[in-house]
Amino acid sequence: MSEPNGTASEAVPERATRAEETHDRWSWVEPLVWTPRMLAALEQGVKGGKWYSLMDKLYAEDTLRAAYEKVAANKGAAGVDHVTVEEFAGDLDGNMRRLSEGLRSGTYRPQAIRRHYIPKPGSHEKRPLGIPTVRDRVVQTALRMVLEPIFERDFAAQSYGFRPTRGCKDALRRVDELLKAGYAHIVDADLKSYLDRDSYCPRAYAV
């Protein structure tokens, strides 16, 4: 979105200049992954704009355990292997060890996604859900913990969907600010079945 004077909205966030500002800005990140040194590099920008050697952060058992705790807190159903969160926890040490070794050696392979349909409010249609196995949800969560801050650094300031520490109320507050600033038009778009059609383009979704 452009401001009334025609300038583009700023990226998120303006860079911190003090250590305490850096800590506050990234207080939501997983400290087992993002050390103060890494956060400083995140703020300043790494050479060439590319991060290397993050795989060791992913397959570290401490990272996987932290990811499991998030998965367990969300509960959720079993995937195609029919292993529940509780059953996965029954051999947690072994599961963590096997996941870590699989990721380290490159032999880890995600399992199929279980398709499930739930009622769509206000419609006779049903909304498709994809349910990964618990082990794959742990890996996905660990990946998010490692990668999310890198992308979050450059996301648009006025983007609120599926972002840490942001939500609908933040978007509403921004709309209120824009209305008071003199904006008078709203564009509402809903792309039907965008994510579950064969023509879905990951590249377009990621832009």
**From CA 157, how far away is CA 204, in angstroms rounded?**
20
Radius of gyration of the chain (CA): 20
CA–CA distance from 165 to each of 27, 150, 171 (Å)?
10, 16, 12
**Conformational region of residue 27, where left means phi above 0, alpha means psi within -120 to 50, and beta covers everything else:** alpha
Residue 65: closest CA among 97, 111, 105, 87: 97
| Cβ 166 vs Cβ 28: under 8 Å | no
- Kindly report the backbone phi and psi dihedral angles of residue 55, in degrees, each rounded to the nearest multiple of 5, phi listed first: -60, -35
Look up residue 7 and give its amino acid. Answer: T
Residues 71-94: tens digit of each pLDDT: 999 989 999 999 999 999 999 999
Look up residue 34 and give its amino acid. Answer: W
Q: What is the structure's pLDDT at 18?
A: 54
Element (H, E) at 129: strand 126-131
Computed over every residue of the chain, the mean pLDDT equals 83
Environment class of 33 (CB within 10 Å of its CB; exposed 0-12, middle 13-18, buried 19+): buried
Residues 109-136: tens digit of each pLDDT: 999 999 999 888 888 888 888 999 999 9
pTM: 0.76
